Structures are given as C-alpha cells and as structure tokens.
Amino acid sequence: MSEFVFLYRSTDAASRAAMGSPEQMQKSMQTWMAWMKQLADKGHIKDRGHPLERAGKLVKGNKRTITDGPYAEAKDIVGGYTLIEAKDLAQAVELSMGCPILEGGGVVEVRPVLKTGM
Amino acid sequence: MELHEHLFRREAGRIVATLTRIFGVENLALAEDVTQDAFCRALEVWPFRGVPDNPSAWLMATAKHRAVDVLRRERTARTLAPELGRLLESDEKLAPAVEELFRTDAIKDDQLRMMFSCCHPRLPETAQVALMLHILCGFSVDEVAGAFVSTRAAIEKRLSRAKQTFAGSERLFEIADAPDFAARLPAVHRALYLLFNEGYHGASPESAVRVELCREALRLAALLFEHPLGATPATYALSALMCLLAARLPARLDAAGNLSALADQDRSRWDPELMAEGQLLLDRSATGPELTEYHVEAAIAAVHASAACVEDTNWAQIVSLYDTLMTIRPSPVVALNRAIAVAQREGPDRGLEEIGAIADRDRLATYPFYYAALGELELRRGRGETAREHFRAARALARNSMERQFLEQRVEACAGGD
C-alpha cells in the first residue's frame, strides 16, 4: 500500500454555483458523506484530512512580501485534503473518480506521498 | 451520523426567520445570503469532520458568527432593524447583544413571526403561500415553481413583488400583540390550508412533491398551535382536517400511480397514526362557541375515516354536516359535494335533483368534477351514453395529467353503453 494526498480544488464561482437551493446543498452533502464513507469502509482513508479557509496570506520570496491570498490570483483554490491509501497511482485515481467536487467543475489533484528510505 | 431528511430546507426557514428579525425586514436578502454562507460552511467542513451531533445548532451558531461579522461591517452602511440601533452603538455591546438575540426562546417565535408577516394583507393569497414556501420552508424558486406547476419566470415575478411588499412593511409582524394576532390569524389559516390543498389537490404530477407540501402545511400548523395565542379551536380544527386528509394520501394513488376516488380507495392504506392524531386534534378543537368551516370539514373527514368502506359511511351525518357548511361558507362546490352525499344515501335520482337545484350552478361550468359527478350519477342510473358525454366534458376541463388520466378511465368505464 502507498499513500496519496487528494487535494480538492475548485474556484469560488464553481463551488458557489454547485450550492444552489437548500435541498440541492443537502444532496451535495449526502454525496460527499457517502463518498467518504465508502472510501473509509474499504480502508482507503488514512486521514480524513481538513478543510482549509479560502482566505489566508501569501508569504513570498527572500523579501518575505506578505499578500492576501491565495484567492486574488489563483484560478482554483485548495479547499481541503485527505490522506488516502491505495495500491498504486492508478487505483488512487480510480478512487477519486467518485468525488462530488467533480460534478461542480472542480478538480481532485492526486499526488503520491514521496516514499523515503527506499 | 445520517442527515435528517430536508434538514437544510427546514433550517433555512428557521435561520432566515431569525436573521430577518435581527437585520430587519428590508434586509431579507442579506438574511438569505448569510444563511447560504452558513450552509456553504457546512458543506466545506462536514465532509472532513463528519456531521456534528446537533446539526441544527451547528448551522444556527455558524449563522450567528456570520451575523456578528455582518453587523460589525454594515452597521453604519445599512439601515438595520430600528430596535437594534442602541445595541449596535459599540463593538463591545455588539457580541453580547447578538448572543441575546439568538437565545433559544427568542428564536423559537421567529418562524411564527415570519409566517404572520408572509400573510401581509396587501399580498394576494397565492403570493402569501409562495412566500411561505420560499422563505419559511426553504423551497428554491424552481421548487416553488414545481410545486405550483408554474414557470420559473412567473414564480420569480410573484416572489419578487411579494418580497418588495414584505420589505416595505417596516417591521416583522409582532406576535406578542394579542388583538393583531387574532386579527391576522384567519389569513394565516387560509394560507396554510391553501398550501395543504396545493399538495392534496394540486397539479404537480410528482406525488413526492405533493406529500412534502402537505407535510410542510402540517408542520407550520403545529408551530401555530404550540404558541398560546395560536392554540385556538380554529387552529386545532384546521390541523385536524389536514391530518385526516393527509392520512388518505397513501391510498390516493393506486398501484399504477393513477388517482383513486374516495369510494375506490384501499382504506387499509390510510395512515392510522395521522387518523388518530387528526381525531385527537378534532377533539381539542371542540371548545368555545366558534364553529369554523375547518371544524365542519374536519368532522366530515372524520366520518369518512371512521367508515371501513364507502357503504358503511354515515351519509346522513355527512349530509347534515354539509348543510352546516353551507350556512358557514356557502359555495357551489360545497353544494355539489352535499348533492353527492345525498345521492349516496337516497340514490342517483335524488342526487341529480339536488345538483339541478344548486344556486350559481353556472359557476361550476369550468369545474371538471361537476361533470364527473353528473357522469357518475348518470352511470349509476344506467345511462352510459349520457354519462360518457359528461365524463368527456369533464376530461376536456382536466387541470393536469393526473385528472385527465382519471377522467379518461371514467369515459372508458362507460364503454358498455346503454
């Protein structure tokens, strides 16, 4: 088994558009919970991870310039991450296919955790 | 933890009602935005952290935090509820003031306040119902349009006009004022009954939508009788009526999904819990001198509920109840239903006689079930050909596909002819 990080990316506009009416939001929520549960039941979740605030600061370069961000220039923002266990990258990608963020035009970035000591 | 069905919809109504009290009626849109923000927050957080133990409290608390932010930011830029003015003078006072405004007992009455505010006398009844569904029941414009089988554009127009009137009303309806409360209560009853009827008789082809509308009407009526001023005999009678009718919903459609007439319904599918609750509420309504149309209609529904089949129905009692209803709220439709009950007791000839004697009978000329009633009675007299003509006339007037299908079957039932 190898570890992967799912980074959930979406634009502010896309995630708002996916919200809609209370009933639609409830449906989105149920889809998320069901997807997470299904991954957990199959033993693929190492760490559910955390949601991230959209607003924060960007500290940049050796001058350490501080700007508000990342929302100003970023096309899509990481809204959260999950640590996944899968056989290989192909399987991890397969697991990401059911992620509800994709329905709203969002992105799941699947990144293998670098293995050390090998 | 599983999400309660329609949790977000219900909470939307509750939170918008509370925020509108805090922000003031002219800031309804702001209240809706803040509510939406709280829901977005839930959507960001719950997938990772799981559904909290008390999702309603979580959403309300999140809305509260947002409200504090908004008040801090907007208190100079906007006109907020006038009674807030003093509390918003300084930052130090703000947070505890908002805390106070969100106290459980304070938010408990907000939905009621909103319900009464939606029934603004300057709004037509259809707009009152649409507004209630949208604000208090959390239905989106599309969902309201679906419930009323109307277009999105038409409902959007109706709602935006209604919201303008609402926002122009200066303040939310004050439910602590007993005379005002009593004066507007009949309009609230009427709107709830309309909402219920939209579900019960309405045109939506989706039975799930119809059941939801009936359920929402029952839920709002329960909020009403849980309040001391709202717990009137008329409120109990209305709730009783809605329970007794809602009990029949599972049998209103047959196995093929077609509308089933009261006489043909499989009464074993009537919901026993709702029937019992309806009966209990009807008993509670029987206090004081007031006799409303809801009392009488609920009593009629209770007679049906107590009969194991159509033949066992106490038609004499039903006729006499319709006589009473004709004195309280006379209408050609009530007279028609009375005539049908007479026919059950004394035969189709007498029924047709009664129908012939209805004053304002011409007002029934566009009502499909007027011709359907004529058709049934003629069919029972063995005049298949005449009956078929009536059912055809009824079918031509059908208001939706379910009615059309039902009446089509009645036309076909006359196929044997004379």
pLDDT band at A117, cuts 50/70/90?
low
- Indicate whether A92 pLDDT > 70: yes
Cα B192-B195-B200 angle, rounded to 5 deg: 120
Span B52-84, pLDDT tens digits: 999 999 999 999 999 888 888 876 666 666 556
Task: Tell me the average pLDDT of chain B.
Answer: 89
Question: B51 and A33: CB-CB below 8 Å?
Answer: yes
Closest by alpha carbon to B394, among B261, B226, B300? B261
Note the pLDDT of residue B389: 95
Residue B400's pLDDT is what? 79
3-state secondary structure B6-75: CHHHHHHHHHHHHHHHHHCHHHHHHHHHHHHHHHHHHHHHHHHHCCCCCHHHHHHHHHHHHHHHHHHHHC
What is the per-residue pLDDT for B3? 81
**Cβ contacts (< 8 Å) between B49 and chain A: which residues?**
48, 51
> Is B336 within a domain?
no
**Distance in Å, alpha carbon of B138 to nearest chain A alpha carbon:** 6
- Tell me, yes or no, whether B231 lies in a domain: no
| CB–CB contact B46 A33 (8 Å) | yes
Query: What's the pLDDT band for B2 if we cut at 50, 70, 90?
Result: confident
Structure tokens at A116: 């050390």
Quote the domain boundaries for residue B414: 365-418
Among B230, A104, B412, CA closest to B404: B412
Q: How far apart are CA B352 and CA A118, in angstroms?
A: 94
Query: How many angstroms separate the CA atoms of B189 and B238, rounded?
Result: 7
Per-residue pLDDT at B264:
86
In a domain, B97, yes or no: yes
C-alpha span between B247 and A102 (Å, rounded): 42
What is the rounded average pLDDT for all residues in chain A? 88
| pLDDT tens-digit readout, B135-175 | 999 998 988 888 877 889 999 999 999 999 988 887 889 88
Region A2-112: CATH code: 3.30.70.1060
Shortest distance between the Cα of B14 and any Cα of chain A, in A, equals 12
Please answer whether residues A93 and A66 qualify as being in contact, where contact means their C-beta atoms are separated by less than 8 angstroms: no
Contacts of B138 in chain A (CB under 8 A): 21-23
Average pLDDT over residues B73-99: 69
pLDDT of residue B22: 87
Give yes or no for a contact between B192 and B238, defined as CB atoms under 8 angstroms apart: yes
A88 close to A23: Cβ distance less than 8 angstroms: no
Residues of A in contact with B48 (CB under 8 A): 48-51, 80, 82
Distance of CA B151 to the CA centre of its chain: 20
**pLDDT (mean) for B231-258:** 92
Residue A59: CB atoms within 10 Å:
11
* Range among B85-99, B124-138, B271-285 with highest mean pLDDT value: B271-285
Alpha carbons B187 and B194: distance in angstroms, whole number:
10
* Cβ–Cβ below 8 Å for B6 and A23: yes
Interface A-B, measured as beta-carbon pairs within 8 A, has a size of: 69
pLDDT tens by residue, B249-278: 989 888 777 888 888 899 999 999 999 999
pLDDT band (50, 70, 90) for residue A17: low
Average the pLDDT over each of A36-40, A61-65, B257-261, B299-303 and give the range with the smallest value.
B257-261
Q: Answer left, alpha or beta for residue B149, where phi above 0 means left and psi between -120 and 50 means alpha.
A: left
pLDDT surpasses 90 at B105: no
| Residue B99 scores a pLDDT above 90 | no
Q: Contact at 8 Å (CB) between B66 and B32?
A: no
pLDDT at A98 over 50: yes
| CA closest to A79 among chain B residues | B44
Q: Give residue B196's pLDDT band: very low, low, confident or very high (50, 70, 90).
A: very high
* C-alpha distance from A1 to closest chain B C-alpha (Å): 22
Residue in A15, A25, A48 nearest the CB of B48: A48
Beta strands in chain A (DSSP E): 2-10, 45-51, 56-60, 65-69, 77-86, 107-112
ipTM attached to this prediction: 0.88
**Which of B9, B43, B51 should we substitute to test contact with A (largest number of A Cβ atoms within 10 Å)?**
B43
pLDDT of B406 > 70? The answer is yes
Task: Decide if pLDDT at A13 tops 60.
Answer: yes
Mean pLDDT across the stretch B239-243? 97
Return the percentage of chain A with pLDDT > 90, whole number. Answer: 58
Identify the residue among A25, A37, A48 best suited for mutation to test binding to B, counting B beta carbons within 10 A and taking the highest: A25
Q: Chain B residues with CB inside 8 Å of A16's CB?
A: 40
Q: CB within 8 A of B96, min separation 6: which ones?
A: none
Alpha-carbon distance values, B75 to B36, B78, B98 (Å): 20, 6, 13
* Alpha-carbon separation of residue B358 from B30, B82, B326, B352, B363 (angstroms): 52, 55, 11, 10, 10
Query: Residue B130: pLDDT band by 50, 70, 90 thresholds?
Result: very high
Chain B interface test: which of A9, A12, A26, A52 (most B C-beta within 10 Å): A26
* Separation in Å, CA of B210 to nearest CA in chain A: 16
pLDDT band at B418 (very low <50, low <70, confident <90, very high): very low
Partner-chain residue, chosen from A23, A26, A51, that has the shortest CB–CB distance to B48: A51
B77: in domain: yes
Other beta carbons within 10 Å of B293: 19
- Is B64 inside a domain boundary? yes
A28 vs B contacts (CB less than 8 Å): 43
- Name the minimum distance, in Å, from the CA of B183 to any CA of chain A: 33
Q: Is A67 on the interface with B (CB under 8 A)?
A: no
Is pLDDT larger for residue B279 or for residue A76? Answer: B279
Contact yes or no for B142 and A21 at CB 8 A: yes
Is A29 in Cβ contact with B42 (below 8 Å)? Answer: yes
Please check whether residue B206 touches A, CB under 8 A: no
pLDDT of residue B416: 59
Looking at the partner chain, which of A23, A49, A50 has a beta carbon nearest the beta carbon of B140?
A23
Q: Give the count of domains, chain B.
A: 2
Nearest C-alpha in B relative to A31 = B47
